[in-house]
Amino acid sequence: MGSLITMTTRRTAVKWSKRLGRYLVSQDDVRKGELLVEKLPLATGPKCNGGLLCLGCYQPNVQERCSNCGWPLCEDCDAVGAVHQHAQLECAVLKQTRFYELPEGTWYCPQLDCIMPLRLLLAKELQPTRWDNEVAPMEHHDQARRENSELWHADRVNIAQYLRGPCRLAERFSEELIMQVVGILEVNAFEARTTQGYPLRCLYPYTGILAHSCVPNTARSIHPSEGFKIRLHAMVDLAAGEQLRHSYTYTLDGTAQRQSHLLEGKFFQCQCERCLDATELQTHFSSLKCGQCTEGWLLPKLPTDKDSSWHCRACGHSTSNEEVQQLIKALQAEIGQVQALEQGSKRLEEAERLLRKYKSLLHPAHYLATSLRQLLVELYGRVQGYEMAQLTDQQLARKVELCREVLAVLNVFEPGQSRARAMHLYELHVPLVLLAKSGFIASRLSGSELRTHLVEAIDLLKECVEILRHEDETSQEGILCGVASQALKQLSVSVEGLGTELD
């Protein structure tokens, strides 16, 4: 418990419960958008099960090797004086070993799986007090991980035995400790991206204490241009003492998908309000159309049980989980085929066709239908034949409708300042402006109606910028923030320029 007290920050505190283990709460009332936690990572490194990459800057498929140890390192990172973790940490250890080139036609580079655990183990030696206070209490789920014996064995051979054998670290780190470190990383690390967009993983001992919920109230941003600093913001207003909730999974998946992701990757069964409610908070995000009556929906009887039967509350018809999963699998395969089409008009038209077809199979808000809507939002205005300037008023109205439908779902699952909300607000403002202008030109809208629509678009952009201002400027979201700010300025100037003579 002593470590719980030392790890308190100005705005947050650590609590403990039997079900959640340690978790964070807010110390006082917090307004949405406010900063809760700001921390640098204790360790950063390559993701597990990845390909060949530079151990300094993480660029993939690097051909050059470190002139000291022979492991993958690009020319720039190998230059004298280059500052990166490879040189500071593991280069001296890896010098004892040989890096084996990948056989032709393979991409997975198992030798690199040991790098992040090694960096964390070296951090233990460099910062023993920090380790004892912050890393040792982290959950590693050793017992549950052992149950997947194939994976456990692979990690033992590729990582623990490799570090203790060829890397000659047997005297410094026990096999048990190494396997715990592998578990700590699996359960607690966050994915980040470099300024060039290459993925890696980072361990933040304090932010890692956040409990999971499928309806989060906090959002994180990781800043590659500031040493991968993590910032945690409140998505909504929080009361003093309120539990901070963070999503470890994709909020726009259905309950069965989220449950299996959490169980397999994080070793717990989520019991949040959304998971326990078959309707997923009245959204019907996993509900299927009942095949036996016209008005009912098939819902899982026990939503967190992976073998639960499904029932229609209107006519009492029931079906097995197996049948439901077969249908979902078939629809997922169809959607996969559409996603695999090249970015063009065919992809858009096929996505629209599937959405029409699924009306007779799924609830309109089902997560598969929602994923098609997200795809369509991206495509309208961007693909050949459907570029923004070419869209008819009907197609612009369709894009508006799709954005609003996705936003309605996000309002429930990612309330407040979420990144996905910001993206959809941006997408929505463009067709609204174009429709307002064409309506005014065709005299369907009066001057004051035109202004009202443009002011609505301005409000969307303001909110979008407000949310995305937390992002790193070099990230995709940070770049969009700049684009949205520019659009906001231009639109505000045009509305001011409209004057009063239009009214």
Would you tell me which residues interact with ligand SAM (CB under 6 A)?
19-23, 138-139, 141, 187-188, 208-209, 211-213, 266-268, 270
DSSP letter string, 378-416: HHTBTSTT-BGGG--HHHHHHHHHHHHHHHHHHHHHS-S
Residue 110 carries which DSSP code?
Answer: G
Choose between 186 and 427: whose C-beta lies nearer to ligand SAM: 186
Q: How far is the CB of 209 from ligand SAM (least distance, A)?
A: 5
Choose between 25 and 102: whose C-beta lies nearer to ligand SAM: 25
Q: How far is the CB of 140 from ligand SAM (least distance, A)?
A: 9
Q: How far is the CB of 207 from ligand SAM (least distance, A)?
A: 9
And the tokens for 280? 């997923």
Choose between 21 and 364: whose C-beta lies nearer to ligand SAM: 21
Choose between 71 and 267: whose C-beta lies nearer to ligand SAM: 267
Q: How far is the CB of 24 from ligand SAM (least distance, A)?
A: 9
Q: Which residues, including other chains, have CB under 8 Å from residue 222's CB and lie 6 or more apart? A: 190, 192, 193, 202, 228, 229, 230, 231, 472
| Nearest residue to the partner ligand SAM, using Cβ | 21
Contact criterion met (CB below 8 Å) for 306 and 256: yes
Instruction: Give CA torsion, residues 272, 275, 276, 277, to 10 deg.
Output: 120
Contact criterion met (CB below 8 Å) for 298 and 289: yes
Residue 95 carries which DSSP code?
Answer: T
And the tokens for 184? 């700590």
Choose between 94 and 272: whose C-beta lies nearer to ligand SAM: 272
Choose between 89 and 187: whose C-beta lies nearer to ligand SAM: 187
Contact criterion met (CB below 8 Å) for 44 and 202: yes
Choose between 187 and 432: whose C-beta lies nearer to ligand SAM: 187
And the tokens for 253? 């998946």
Helices (H), ranges, 309-392: 321-340, 345-357, 367-379
Instruction: Give CA torsion, residues 9, 271, 151, 191, to 10 deg.
Output: -40
Q: How far is the CB of 472 from ligand SAM (least distance, A)?
A: 22
Choose between 72 and 208: whose C-beta lies nearer to ligand SAM: 208
Choose between 115 and 138: whose C-beta lies nearer to ligand SAM: 138
Instruction: Please choose, from the candidates 423, 413, 430, the residue with its C-alpha nearest in 3D space to the C-alpha of residue 471.
Output: 423
And the tokens for 37? 């936690």
- The residue assigned the tokens 């008005």 is 295
Q: How far is the CB of 134 from ligand SAM (least distance, A)?
A: 10
Q: How far is the CB of 179 from ligand SAM (least distance, A)?
A: 16
Q: How far is the CB of 261 from ligand SAM (least distance, A)?
A: 12
Contact criterion met (CB below 8 Å) for 258 and 214: yes
Please give the Cα distance from 140 to 152 (Å, whole number).
Answer: 13
Q: How far is the CB of 18 from ligand SAM (least distance, A)?
A: 10
Choose between 7 and 460: whose C-beta lies nearer to ligand SAM: 7
Q: How far is the CB of 251 from ligand SAM (least distance, A)?
A: 14
Q: How far is the CB of 210 from ligand SAM (least distance, A)?
A: 6
Residue 423's SS3 state is helix
The span from the first CA to the last CA of the chain, in angstroms, equals: 67
Q: How far is the CB of 329 from ligand SAM (least distance, A)?
A: 27
Choose between 147 and 387: whose C-beta lies nearer to ligand SAM: 147
Please give the Cα distance from 369 to 54 (Å, whole number).
Answer: 39
Helix, strand, coil abundance in the chain, percent, nearest 5: 50, 15, 40
> Which residues is 238 bridged to in the sheet?
30
b/e map 38-51, b = 16+ CB within 10 Å: bbebbbbbbbbebe
Region at 418 (left for phi over 0; alpha for psi -120 to 50; beta for the rest): beta
Choose between 280 and 352: whose C-beta lies nearer to ligand SAM: 280
Please give the Cα distance from 45 to 359 (Å, whole number).
Answer: 45
And the tokens for 293? 């009556």
